[in-house]
Amino acid sequence: MANDNFYGYKRSPKKRAKALDYKGVDMEFESVNPYEFKKGMYCELNKLGAATLRESDEEQREKATETVLKNLKDVPAYYSYMEHYEVTTRNMDRKPSFKTFLKELEGHSMKEIGEKFTEDKMKEIKLKENIRAEVRNKINELFKTK
C-alpha cells in the first residue's frame, strides 16, 4: 500500500515480510475490501480502548490490523455481518451465536447465473401462453375421460 497511514494500516515488518508477494506489495492487505477494513479498524480499536484512530498507539494499530485481516480472510464482509447481527438480535432474549448467524446467511450470498438458490421462496412466473396451454390440456383431459 502506498500510504501506511491510510485507515491506520500498520503491520510489524516481520508479518509484512511474510505477506509480500509481487514487487513488495502486501497482497494479504490488497485483497481486502477497503470499506470493510475501515469498519473493522474502528471496531477493533474500540475493543482495544481507543476511541479514534488518532488516539490509538502504534501497538494497538498493529494488533487491530492483524485481527481485521484475519477476520476478513475468513469472511469477506465480516464487519458488515457483525453490524447486521447486532442490529437484528438487539432485543432478543436468546441470541444465536455469531457463527450460527453466519451459517444462516450463507444461502443468501451472490451466485453465478446458472446456479439456483437452495432456499428460494419465489415461484416461477407463468406466462399467459403457459396458462392457456394448461387450461387446454385440462379441458382435453376432461373430454377424453368421458
- pLDDT tens for 41-96 read 899 999 988 888 888 888 888 888 889 989 998 888 899 999 999 998 988 888 88
Beta carbons within 8 Å of 72's beta carbon, 6+ residues apart: 32, 33, 36, 37, 40, 78, 79
pLDDT recorded at residue 117: 65
Point out which residues pair with 26 in neighbouring strands.
20
List, for residues 17-37, the tens digit of each pLDDT value. 555 556 666 667 777 888 898
Cell digits for 139? Answer: 379441458
- For the whole model, what pTM was predicted? 0.62
Tell me the one-letter amino acid at 122: M
Contact between residue 19 and residue 28 where contact means Cβ atoms under 8 Å apart: yes
Q: If we measure between CA atoms, which residue out of 50, 32, 34 comes closest to residue 42? A: 50
